Amino acid sequence: MLDVVVTLFFGWPAILASVVISGMGLFRNKYQFLVVAAVLAFGPCWFLSGFPVVSSPVFLAPLFLFGAGFLLSRGHEMLCWLVALPYYLLVLSLFYVILAQA
């Protein structure tokens, strides 16, 4: 039971959910979706940074989504897309690394 919960909050389901929810927030111009996506992204980013000792700046990746949500709430749509882009590149690079190992 605990393995399922850990997989949901620290694995690919949480990463994919954060990407989908943040994409919905960007396309619909709703900053609330970006904040929810940043909260969902916190677990996987913390785990990828070298839990329990933080040895990588990957744990700061949800700050990009928080920043994008802040900019969207202020009406800066283009800057919002640019600030959210590093998070998407991080997920894309992680996906590429996983596929390259297979």
pLDDT in tens, 54-98: 778 888 899 999 999 999 999 999 999 999 999 999 999 999 998
Q: What does the pLDDT read at residue 54?
A: 78
- Return the residue matching tokens 């933080």: 54
Q: Is 33 exposed, middle or buried (0-12, 13-18, 19+ CB in 10 A)?
A: buried
By C-alpha distance, which of 87, 84, 85, 82 is closest to 59? 87
* CA-based max dimension of the chain: 43
Structure token pair of residue 70: 């802040």
